[in-house]
Structure 1
Amino acid sequence: MIGPQPAFVGASLAPTDPVLAADVQVGPPKSGQEDEVRFGLTSEAGLNDGLAFPFVNLAIAISLSAADGEPWLGTWIAHNVLWEVGAGVLGGWLIGCIFGWLTFLIPADTKLAQTGDGLIAIAATFVSYGLTEMIECYGFLAVFITALTIRHSHREHDFHREMHDVTEQIERLAMMILLVLFGGALVNGLLAPLRFMDVMVSVIVLLVIRPVAGWIGLLGLETAWREKLTLSFFGIRGVGSFCYLAYGLNNMPIEGGERLWAIVGLVVLLSVLFHGLTVTPTMRQLDRSQGRDPDAEGIPPSGLQRPG
């Protein structure tokens, strides 16, 4: 039977985070910066934030079952997979419909879009996450569905750009703070428990397992091989991995917590370096191959994001 540690590490490393590299994010609404590769990588990150969580709960269930002998499979499938995923999708959709109606469709001058305040997107995020977590389903997944639903409620409205700009600035500020904290953890010995095998596994995860698994997952997709290769390679690891790891360690008895922190920390560090150095030339070459000028106005800025 599979042990909790491999499942836990795999689930913790599943979330991707294109926030760390601006070139792989879709651009602002109605900007024309929404090609298949950028859309695919951004969508993957949104879905992974929710769909990888059942496997964190799988590791927790296996660990608790090993400690008390209680069966875990039925509860995991019924609650952690069917209920939490299904309720997360439905809850996110309902909240998105409500916010979409209040923002764009309410037949009055009091519609939220009239305020011009892009912080409404942040409010929708907190409301969606909080309410869905109250009914024990995946808040991250619900937030993703809420955002899609709000966008779909009135795709051509200019207020989408205002919400995008505000959330992007907050996103950059939060990422700056988290990267500073991550750097402090590295200086204070985060990677000290690593063994040689851990380093090898971390490199293989980024340079072999992710690209191969991504390529297999894209079999049957009718697109150019360059796009498939780009989608497969740029599985950028970031904050989501730390969130999943912290959640799991606080909810199950498992040995070697410091070593797990070191492994995940190394994968994130290597991802920032590998993907940060390669994303700009790769995406510029991809733009050229698709007939776009990467130096023209409207192409996303290159490299790692920095606070504006």
Structure 2
Amino acid sequence: MEPHIIFLGGFGLLILLVAWIPVLIDRLPLSLPIICIGIGAGLFYWLDEGGLQPRDYPSTTEILTELTVIISLAGAGLRIDDPLKWSVWKDTGRLLGITMPLTIAAIAALGAGFLDLPWATAILLGAVLAPTDPVLAAEVQVGPPRTGPADKVRLSLTSEAGLNDGLAFPFTFLALAVAANGTELGDWTWHWFTVDVIWRIVAGIAAGWILGWLSGLLMFRSGRLSLASTGQGFVALGGTFVTYASAELIHGYGFIAVFVGGLALRTTQREVHDYHIRLHDFSEEIERLLMMTLLVLFGGSLAGPLLDGLTWPLVAAGAVILLVIRPLAGMIGLFGSAMPLREQAIVSFFGIRGVGSFYYLAYATAAAEFGGIDTAWTLTAFVVLVSILMHGTTSGIAMAWLDHRREHARHQNAG
């Protein structure tokens, strides 16, 4: 049989599974990503293909993960109903301004001090493993448009995932600069701070807000020529790609731009329009299909030598990252928050790692040479796998428990 016939049949089956699996596992402590990884591992083991190694195809890995992340970020921005007020978003500010830098610093110290990695690779590891993932966090994120303001846990995790993927980029560039110049401060330090930190962040926010606002005008305030009148969901992809490309052209962070663009689009039509829902639903369907494809490939890579370099020190490092560094940094960042302590604990625990981690690692690998990079790939794959399994089996239970506690407290107050 022709290979392309097998590919079409397999891809069609994958699309059907995207729709069907969530129904099958609705009452089970499983998630769609876990099933995808299992399918990929089983398929490649059965085919005896030896697995696909993402480290061997950094450019392809970078493009596929980049596409998935930007669609996910745009969708996350579209589904947030909460107003853009500091009083609402201050916990997000704590997670981005305190928790994330602490996480990067702690992972970098672990990499250099415990794993004996060069500082450039250790910093890269911190940048790669610090961001929470917008693609795999569906269970702990806010609902679609028109579901109303989210609780603090879901809003914090959604908004953190929406922005920290872009905010990991300055530290990726820092790792690249250290790889090229060493750890001694010099002219490169000033360039990194002014260009890679200040300019790229500001440019990403500005590009996202302006283009999101303009998109909103074209969709909702152009009379009979409005894009909303077409009812076409794929407009979401067009707006996302234009926003991302525009931000990158002015050397801004496109990841930040697409999330901010989704938020800005909502502000032009604050009351949820049916077209908001259409745009969100189309983005979510494409995101889920891409996510499922990537995770099947990730599962396939596990059937090969991806984790052959896994040692007990790497297992210990992965456990420390997931069970100590992220939860502790989260609790430190949220110290003084009005959020109840149990909610702070849930936000701190559910720092899901995933697709974004592979993107940054592939991006840096294609741009420069890093000592001990195979160790970084192995540890990243291990952390992502454990995160998907651990958070995927507990997220639904944790959020159901939290909702039950909140409902119980509401009934008590009403009585």
TM-score above 0.5: yes
Structure 1 residue corresponding to 2:344, chosen from 199, 214, 228: 228
Residues 318 and 379 in structure 2, CA contact (< 8 A), matched pair in contact too: yes
Asked if 1:11 is matched to 2:127, the reply is yes
Question: Residues 135-168 of structure 1: CA distance to partner in whole angstroms, max 9, x if unpaired?
Answer: 2111101111111100111021221111111111
Name the CA distance, whole Å, in 2 between partners of 1:6 and 1:172: 32
Q: Paired residue for 2:212?
A: 96
Amino acid aligned to 1:74:
W
Name the CA distance, whole Å, in 1 between partners of 2:362 and 2:135: 20
Structure 1 residue corresponding to 2:233, chosen from 81, 99, 118: 118
Corresponding residue SS for 1:109: helix
**Greater fraction helix:** 2
Name the CA distance, whole Å, in 1 between partners of 2:225 and 2:353: 41
Q: Paired residue for 1:302?
A: none
Question: Residues 13-36 of structure 1: CA distance to partner in whole angstroms, max 9, x if unpaired?
Answer: 122114324321211111237221
Name the CA distance, whole Å, in 2 between partners of 1:23 and 1:211: 18
Q: Paired residue for 1:134?
A: 249
Q: Paired residue for 2:176?
A: 60
- The runs of at least 4 aligned residues of structure 1 exceeding 3 Å deviation read 67-71
Name the CA distance, whole Å, in 2 between partners of 1:93 and 1:135: 14
Residues 85 and 138 in structure 1, CA contact (< 8 A), matched pair in contact too: yes
Name the CA distance, whole Å, in 2 between partners of 1:93 and 1:104: 16
Name the CA distance, whole Å, in 2 between partners of 1:120 and 1:15: 28
Asked if 1:83 is matched to 2:199, the reply is yes
Asked if 1:285 is matched to 2:401, the reply is yes
Name the CA distance, whole Å, in 2 between partners of 1:292 and 1:241: 38
Corresponding residue SS for 1:117: coil
Name the CA distance, whole Å, in 1 between partners of 2:349 and 2:164: 16
Deviation, 1:69, is: 9.6
| CA separation of 1:70 and 1:218: change in aligned 2, threshold 3 A | closer
Unaligned regions of 5+ residues in structure 1, if any? Answer: 294-308
Name the CA distance, whole Å, in 1 between partners of 2:405 and 2:172: 39
Deviation, 1:256, is: 2.1
Residues 135 and 355 in structure 2, CA contact (< 8 A), matched pair in contact too: no
Percent identity of equivalent pairs: 48
Asked if 1:267 is matched to 2:392, the reply is no
Unaligned regions of 5+ residues in structure 2, if any? Answer: 1-108, 113-118, 410-415
Q: TM-score, normalised by structure 2?
A: 0.68
| CA separation of 1:266 and 1:33: change in aligned 2, threshold 3 A | farther
Q: TM-score, normalised by structure 1?
A: 0.90
Asked if 1:192 is matched to 2:308, the reply is yes
